[in-house]
Amino acid sequence: MSESQKQSATQDTPPKKIVVITTGGTIACTAGRDGALLPTVAGADLLAPVAARFDAADVSFDVRELNRLDSSSMTFADIDEIRRAVEEALADPEVTGVVVTHGTDSMEETAVALDTFHTDDRPVVLTGAQHPHDHPDADGPLNLLDAINVVTSPTARGIGVLIVFGRAVLPARGAVKWHTSDELAFATNAPEEPTRADPVPAVDLADVVVHIIHAYPGAPRDLVDSARAAGADGLVIEAMGSGNIGTGLAAGVGDALRDGVPVVISTRVPRGEVCGSYGGAGGGATLNSLGAVGSTYFRSGQARVLLAIALASGRHPATLF
Ligand code: ASP
């Protein structure tokens, strides 16, 4: 191709259009006088230094500041709002993809929700930071740059929602925050190419109540009974080992299942899948025979979101795991 042909090819290709939705998190935090971190940085200010690294003829940006939240305070209503913002962004056919900046504490929950509803081939990538914006080693700008590079890459199309963080690119399904401070904040417990369930038509989660109960040895059934009394529509049990719980809790779980309350069994073990192998009152095989659903490779946070989506959309929970 001659120089003039190359030039006219560049001129004919419109810039890739990236929507950046900002929601808060450490990436947007600065330290106050007492040293405590709060999300204070506007979306436009987060993006500006990173956007400056791209040629405007190649990539254009539209930043939408949705919120300035610590993600540990997010509710299902906040996830609904982020989902709607992503849908709105992708309603524009000229948009190449979407980056969502988000706190790390509950990024895995938002990511799996967006992925479960995602019907579009265009990529959605979540990113954030472990160090705040005003830290000398702030990792947010590089994470945001990597997220934008992934979103503009044709290889990111058709593979669902991703977390790009600490130089790693992870599918949303199975991702877990695994380090409280390391720049490689996320790991995955999923198989190499996790199968995605058929996307679920968008539905709000704000009114769904799913509680997670930690099944420590000797945990009493009262934990299940009080969750039900508090209005739980479904329960996730963070079991021991491959998915086993003690006798007391098992009695409460059995009653919940008999009364039609769906129960998903996850585990407190970081790696491997849940499998119902054991008999006895709280063994995984017994819980399965009563109708509990194993969370496969998902851990409790994402299992809770998937169960909520199943409840809100009228699907059997097993179809989403
Ligand atoms: N607490 C912060 C949040 O989740 C942590 C972070 O972003 O890394 O919003």
Quick one: 161 and 214 in the same domain? no
- Active site annotation includes 119: no
Quick one: 167 and 282 in the same domain? no
Considering the domain boundaries, does residue 195 fall inside one?
A: no
Considering the domain boundaries, does residue 202 fall inside one?
A: no
Query: In a mutational test of the pocket of ligand 1, which residue from 41, 71, 137, 139 has the highest number of ligand atoms less than 8 Å from its CB?
Result: 71
The sign one gets for the Cα dihedral 43, 44, 49, 51 is positive
Looking at the CA of residue 70, tell me the nearest atom of ligand 1.
Answer: 9
Single pTM value for the model: 0.95
At 191-234, the pLDDT tens digits run: 988 888 889 999 999 999 999 999 999 999 999 999 999 999 99
Task: Identify which of 171, 175, 160, 167 has the alpha carbon closest to the alpha carbon of residue 144.
Answer: 167
Ligand 1: residues whose CB is within 6 Å? 24-26, 70-72, 103-105, 128, 130
Quick one: 216 and 271 in the same domain? yes
- Determine the residue type at 215: A
At 158-194, the pLDDT tens digits run: 999 999 999 999 999 999 999 999 999 999 999 988 8
Quick one: 220 and 81 in the same domain? no
Whether residue 11 has pLDDT greater than 60: no
To the nearest 10 degrees (0 to 180), the angle between helices 300-313 and 107-117 is 40
19: CB partners within 8 A, 6+ apart: 61, 62, 63, 64, 89, 92, 95, 97, 98, 99
Whether the CB-CB separation of 238 and 267 falls below 8 Å is answered with yes
Considering the domain boundaries, does residue 219 fall inside one?
A: yes
Q: How far is the CA of 202 from the centre of ligand 1 (A)?
A: 26
Whether residue 6 has pLDDT greater than 90: no
Beta bridge partners of 177: 186
Q: Is 116 annotated as a binding residue?
A: no
Quick one: 127 and 24 in the same domain? yes
Q: Is 286 annotated as a binding residue?
A: no
CA distance 94 to 92: 5
**CATH number, position 166:** 3.40.50.1170
Q: Based on the structure, what is the number of domains in the chain?
A: 2
CA distance 175 to 272: 13
For ligand 1, atom 7, which residue shows the shortest CA distance? 103
Quick one: 225 and 120 in the same domain? no
Query: In a mutational test of the pocket of ligand 1, which residue from 26, 46, 139 has the highest number of ligand atoms less than 8 Å from its CB?
Result: 26
What single DSSP character describes residue 83? Answer: H
Considering the domain boundaries, does residue 200 fall inside one?
A: no
**Domain with 308 in it:** 210-320
Task: Identify which of 139, 229, 153, 217 has the alpha carbon closest to the alpha carbon of residue 184.
Answer: 139
Look up tokens 């500041």; give the residue. Answer: 65
CA distance 169 to 32: 32
Whether residue 1 has pLDDT greater than 50: no
Q: Check residue 192 and give its pLDDT.
A: 84
Task: Identify which of 115, 261, 243 has the alpha carbon closest to the alpha carbon of residue 252.
Answer: 261
Of 153, 188, 223, the one marking the end of a domain is 188
Q: How far is the CA of 138 from the centre of ligand 1 (A)?
A: 14
Considering the domain boundaries, does residue 248 fall inside one?
A: yes
Quick one: 70 and 113 in the same domain? yes
CA distance 24 to 302: 20
Considering the domain boundaries, does residue 196 fall inside one?
A: no
Whether the CB-CB separation of 140 and 129 falls below 8 Å is answered with yes
CA distance 165 to 66: 21
Strands 293-294 and 263-267: parallel
At 236-248, the pLDDT tens digits run: 999 999 999 999 9
Q: Which value, in Å, is the radius of gyration of the alpha carbons in the chain? A: 21
**CATH number, position 313:** 3.40.50.40
> What tokens appear for 126 in the block?
């979540």
Quick one: 9 and 136 in the same domain? yes
Q: Check residue 2 and give its pLDDT.
A: 53
Quick one: 27 and 81 in the same domain? yes
For ligand 1, atom 3, which residue shows the shortest CA distance? 103
Considering the domain boundaries, does residue 35 fall inside one?
A: yes
Quick one: 92 and 17 in the same domain? yes
Of 188, 220, 255, the one marking the end of a domain is 188
Considering the domain boundaries, does residue 73 fall inside one?
A: yes
Quick one: 226 and 175 in the same domain? no
> What tokens appear for 320 in the block?
């989403």
CA distance 176 to 187: 6
Whether residue 281 has pLDDT greater than 80: yes
Q: How far is the CA of 72 from the centre of ligand 1 (A)?
A: 7
Mean pLDDT of the chain: 95
Q: Check residue 47 and give its pLDDT.
A: 98
Of 124, 153, 188, the one marking the end of a domain is 188
Task: Identify which of 49, 51, 67, 68 has the alpha carbon closest to the alpha carbon of residue 59.
Answer: 51
Quick one: 62 and 11 in the same domain? yes
- The single residue of 22, 23, 26, 101 carrying the catalytic annotation is 26
Q: Is 226 annotated as a binding residue?
A: no
At 266-276, the pLDDT tens digits run: 999 999 999 99
Whether the CB-CB separation of 239 and 208 falls below 8 Å is answered with no
Q: How far is the CA of 66 from the centre of ligand 1 (A)?
A: 16
Q: Mean pLDDT across the stretch 87-111? A: 98
At 303-320, the pLDDT tens digits run: 999 999 999 999 999 999
